[in-house]
Amino acid sequence: IPFVVLCILEAEQEGKAESTEAGSFGYLYEVLVTTALNATTGPKAQLEKKYIFLARLAYQMFKLDARTLLLSHVKEVAEKYSKSVLVRVDIEGMLADLEASRVLINVDGNYAFAYSHLFYYFPARYYKENLDREDGPSLREEICRMADYVSSDRYSMVLMFIIYFARDASGVVRKLVDNANQVYAKEAPANLASDVAFLNQFCEKPEVEIPDRVDMKANREDRRELQDRIDRSERDIVHPRDREFLYSEDLSDKEKFDLSYKHIELLGQVIRNFPGSLPGPEKLSILKASYLLGLRTMSVMFRLLESSTGMYREALAGKNDQDVDVNKLRRAVDNLMLLISRMCTLVMLKKVSGSVGVPDLETAYSETLQQVGST
């Protein structure tokens, strides 16, 4: 991913390459954000002040569910910060630095974070810096609410950084594990044997020609172009990215799939943030929850595919068009169903492994498989 490459290059230049070892988004953003905040047009970078001011500003915007604030409101945040800690804040110089380094942008006196991930990163810093202060109890309640409503993109993104800054905040990891275990709790985990028996009827010998030589570079380019097209298509689809809802059995499968993916991603960030310090039992509970949630989701995918198979075969059975070779059409659709099934399976396996896969955790994975069952 270009973002990860950029972070590694930036870390190398700053002599902080060790910060990227865990591969978590928290570590990666720390490198980019510190580099940006150190840039200054004046005599002093005001690094610590920038961090605290931006955390307060972002938290205000987050609570107001606003992406922009008027300059007067921005100055009000700076003045409150100055009075609360009895320190002089050069807000004009600070804003000039933040605009020059593209942390903030100013459009006709309306200030916003230049990049969406910065908007999520700094509220998490606010939570981290204030959990042990007077507002701590109410902030912990807010974190618990976010853990329950990860259906909202803004909640799940802020949570990702909160996990990096303070994994023990309000037992957020335990809550995420418990919530992950609720998703499709009544479904049996897929075993890729009995649950795919319906696909065996399609397994005629595939007519695939394997070339003698494969152009790997061309294949990579094709994949990248396909991903670009998919990304563009997704941007054109209107969908409720910030719908807040709790998990329930009455949700649609699309909503349940979304919750499944988000829980696997968030639990994966816990593993990636703390691979060397996370206690063994806690690590195993996260891995077990992630493995089983992925397998339960796969089980539902297979059931949906199996029901679709019955519907299309019934439709073909009643087709008497002389211009159509029904058997040929049936074989083509059978092969398509096989392809879709394989794609769904591989996507989920890659989702789990890509989220919780970290070097040097082979022992943890082996113990997880013993608990889950190796199928």
- Residues 334, 323: Cα–Cα separation, whole Å: 20
- Extract the tokens encoding 233: 């298509």
pTM flag (> 0.85): no
One-letter amino acid identity for 58?
A
- Residues 8, 157: Cα–Cα separation, whole Å: 21
Q: Is the pLDDT of residue 238 over 50?
A: no
List pLDDT tens digits, range 332-349: 888 888 899 999 999 999
Distances (CA, A) of 236 to 1, 161, 253: 22, 28, 22
DSSP string, 204-257: PPP--PPPSS--HHHHHHHHHHHHHHHHHHHHHS---TT------TTS-HHHHH
- Taking residues 56-76, what's their average pLDDT? 95
List pLDDT tens digits, range 168-218: 766 899 999 999 999 999 999 999 888 988 888 777 555 556 667 778 888
How many residues are recorded in the chain? 375
SS3 187: coil
